[in-house]
Amino acid sequence: MNGVRRREIAKRIFAYEFNRSTHRIKPEEDKAPVYVLTPLGMRCNRVFVVGALLDKDEIKPDSGIWRIRVADPTGAFFGYVGRFQPDALESLMEIEPPELVAIVAKIGVFERDGRLFVSLRPESISVVDSETRDYWIYETALKTLERIKRMELKKDEDCKLAWQIYNPNLNEFRQMVKQALASLKEEFELIEEIEEEELKERKEIEEVEFEKLKEKDELEEFEEEFEFEEEEWDLSDILGE
Amino acid sequence: MKEERIKQITNQVVEQFRRSGYDVDAKEISKRLMLLIYEFKVPESEAIRTVKNWLIKELEIPKEKLVAEAPLVKIADITKPGQWVSLKAKVVQLWDSSSPSVSQVGLIGDETGMIKFVIWAKSGKGEVEEGKSYLFRNIVTDSFQGRMQVYITRTSDIVEIEEDIQIPPREIEVVGALVAIQQNSGLIQRCKLCRRVMTKGICPIHGKVEGYDDLRIKGVLDDGENFYEIILNEENIKALTGIDLEKAKQIAAERLDRNAVLSELKSQLLGRYLKVRGTRGGRYLIVNEVEFLKGIDKAEIEKLIEEVAA
Ligand SMILES: [Zn+2]
């Protein structure tokens, strides 16, 4: 039955794994959602992220599109918020970085020179406390370790595909998880050495992809606004009599 | 597509006759339906009626025999769509319905499980009440988004029973992030006649009528593996935020905006981890208790770190 598509789960993923996700799984049927495959063999279309909002900048003056950078203990997520995310935009305008935030986001993708760049397209942004952040790190560590295990066992098709595409060094990912967990034990400095390079690259992409940023992103296009009162097919005529 | 549809209707007709003890020729029925619906452009319901009448004549079935009673089953037995059954069950929860074709929708349960039910407006059956037990006679099963549900149609009966159907507590505990809060949350208005949620002062059933204020949140709890649709009532909301109906009205009055309540609740709840104890019913988690998640066990973290190192 064609109906409301099942809501996409908000996956938990560290910036490190997220930013290394460069493979998109094209839908088999027309209206199916698009997924990004991560190096640890997880399909995702929506994520839940908690971290420090480091900065927000309008990518061009008066464009109404804001670039945000949100750091977790393993790296930083880039995100873009525009008029197609009214709730997120409204909250973002009220927040002065740095601030701890929780973000529910669809994944945005740009392609450049055959490489895929992922970013967050937030649906909602809210200011949270450090307990929420800590739990997120814990939970994300747990789920990442599960993924590493699945990769070791080459459990399913997506794992096999991830091996084929990324051939990941699992130890590198274990170290990353360890680093994240360590941050829960002591006061921890955010890695600020980030990515002057990466930022420069992003800015170049934004230049080229500016028009696309003003539009709804392809990954968020199809999922319908989920509602409790789902309309159902009225069978009463047929079944009644 | 055509074939699919015809097959579907044919199965329903065949099933209805089978229930009454008559084996009918599905091929012949399909052929007639195809002709009536796609060649002669007869409306589906008319085509079905015509085919049924033809079968009744052909098989010389006394009309009253055809509405023979469907077997009494337990909810756990319901695994296939298109089956006619009867159930003794208790109404666990009534949900809002914005669809005028639906009279009531919600959850019923028995000793073996819970299932969503829909009473079609056209069925003309009386309304049921939460907490009461009923015999639902001659209802039909269907599957929607991979889950079973039952319809109460015109040929069904709903009879209140003395027996208090016992539903075992199937409480589960979920820790998840509140990833969405829907519209129609916050300080809402309900219709005085039917308690449905009104949109802009209009009840989906009764139109422009008087309403009363209520506080609730429709939201989505997501643990990274599953999502649970939850409804938080005034009591739950108060436990989490300290905001009750009175306070909500006060906020709305102060800011001259009912939506201010929703904004306030969103800023306090969205993106937070909640620990919910509740009963699973279909896709819904019926909340019994809710609280903010408190901290993590440091020992757990140590354990994890060791696990990674190993
Ligand atoms: Zn009403």
Query: With 50 as the cut, is the pLDDT of residue A227 above it?
Result: no
Query: With 70 as the cut, is the pLDDT of residue A220 above it?
Result: no
Domain B171-292 in the same topology as domain B72-160: yes
When the pLDDT of each residue in chain A is averaged and rounded to a whole number, the result is 82
- Poorest-pLDDT segment among A23-27, A157-161, A211-215: A211-215
Ramachandran area for residue B242 (φ above 0: left; ψ -120 to 50: alpha; else beta):
left
CA angle B288, B183, B241 (to 5 degrees): 45
CB contacts of B226 in chain A (<8 Å) are: 9
Which ipTM score applies to this complex?
0.83
Position B16 scores a pLDDT of 77
Please, what is the end-to-end C-alpha distance for chain A in angstroms? 23
Dihedral, CA of residue B124, residue B126, residue B132 and residue B137, to nearest 10: -40
Residue A17 pLDDT class (50, 70, 90 cuts): very high
Residue of B179, B197, B240, B286 to mutate, interface with A, max A Cβ within 10 Å: B179
Do you find a cis peptide bond into B168, omega within 30 degrees of 0?
A: no
What residue of A is the nearest CA neighbor of B227?
A: A9
Nearest in space to A115 (alpha carbons), one of A24, A211, A210, A14: A24
Position B197 scores a pLDDT of 86
- Identify residue B60 by its one-letter amino acid code: E
Task: Output phi, psi for B237, to 5 deg.
Answer: -65, -40
When the pLDDT of each residue in chain B is averaged and rounded to a whole number, the result is 87
Q: Are B101 and B45 in contact (CB under 8 A)?
A: no
Burial class (CB in 10 A: 0-12, 13-18, 19+), A175: middle
Domain ranges of chain B: 2-65, 72-160, 171-292
For residues B247-267, give the mean pLDDT: 95
Position A235 scores a pLDDT of 28
CA pair distance A138, A130, nearest whole angstrom: 12
Q: In sequence order, what are the beta bridge partners of B276?
A: B174, B290
Nearest in space to B140 (alpha carbons), one of B127, B125, B156: B156
Token pair belonging to B114: 């819970």
Position A225 scores a pLDDT of 40
- Poorest-pLDDT segment among A134-138, A225-229, B276-280: A225-229
**Residue showing tokens 């319809």:** B151
Distance from B95 to chain A by nearest Cα, in Å?
A: 8
Q: What is the number of other CB atoms lying within 10 angstroms of the CB of residue B126?
A: 14
Residue of A228, A233, A234 to mutate, interface with B, max B Cβ within 10 Å: A228
Position A4 scores a pLDDT of 45
Express each pLDDT in A34-47 by its tens digit. 899 999 999 999 99
Nearest in space to B135 (alpha carbons), one of B104, B158, B117: B158
Residue A223 pLDDT class (50, 70, 90 cuts): very low
- Poorest-pLDDT segment among A74-88, B56-70, B239-253: B56-70
CATH of domain B171-292: 2.40.50.140
Residue B14 pLDDT class (50, 70, 90 cuts): confident
CA pair distance B45, A240, nearest whole angstrom: 9
CA atoms within 13 A on the CB side of A1: 15
CA pair distance B80, B154, nearest whole angstrom: 21
Residue with more model confidence, A191 or B88: B88
Residue B145 pLDDT class (50, 70, 90 cuts): low
Burial class (CB in 10 A: 0-12, 13-18, 19+), A199: middle
Token pair belonging to A85: 């995310």
Q: What 3-state class would DSSP assign to B104?
A: strand
- Alpha-carbon radius of gyration of chain B: 24
CA pair distance B145, B228, nearest whole angstrom: 15
Query: With 70 as the cut, is the pLDDT of residue A125 above it?
Result: yes
Position B249 scores a pLDDT of 97
Position A149 scores a pLDDT of 93
Residue B99 pLDDT class (50, 70, 90 cuts): confident
Non-local CB neighbours of B120 within 8 Å, separated by 6+ positions: A234, A235, A236, A240, B101, B102, B103, B151, B152, B153, B154
For chain B, percent of residues with pLDDT exceeding 70: 95
- Poorest-pLDDT segment among A27-31, A77-81, B115-119: A27-31
Find how far residue A149's CA is from the centre of its chain. Answer: 22
CB contacts of A105 in chain B (<8 Å) are: none
CATH of domain B72-160: 2.40.50.140
A184, A231, A239 member nearest B301 (Cβ)? A184
Position A107 scores a pLDDT of 93
Is any Cβ of chain A less than 8 angstroms from the Cβ of B123?
Answer: yes
Position B288 scores a pLDDT of 86
CA pair distance A152, A144, nearest whole angstrom: 12
Query: With 70 as the cut, is the pLDDT of residue B201 above it?
Result: yes
CA pair distance A226, B220, nearest whole angstrom: 10
Highest mean pLDDT among A110-124, A157-171, B14-28, B101-115 belongs to A157-171
Q: What is the number of other CB atoms lying within 10 angstroms of the CB of residue B98?
A: 17
Kindly list the protein residues that place their beta carbon closer than 5 angstroms to ligand 1, a single-atom ion: B 191, 193-194, 196, 203, 205-206
CA pair distance B202, B196, nearest whole angstrom: 10
Q: B195 C-alpha to center of ligand 1: Å?
A: 6
Domain ranges of chain A: 10-209
Residue A221 pLDDT class (50, 70, 90 cuts): very low
Q: B206 C-alpha to center of ligand 1: Å?
A: 4
Q: What 3-state class would DSSP assign to B149?
A: strand
Distance from A196 to chain B by nearest Cα, in Å?
A: 29
CATH 2.40.50.140 for the A10-209 domain, yes or no: yes
Q: Are A102 and A128 in contact (CB under 8 A)?
A: yes
Q: Are A106 and A94 in contact (CB under 8 A)?
A: no
DSSP state of A106: E
For residues A108-114, give the mean pLDDT: 84
For residues B248-261, give the mean pLDDT: 95
Are the beta carbons of B180 and A124 separated by less than 8 Å?
Answer: yes
- Poorest-pLDDT segment among A29-43, A181-195, B62-76, B99-113: A181-195
Is any Cβ of chain A less than 8 angstroms from the Cβ of B222?
Answer: yes
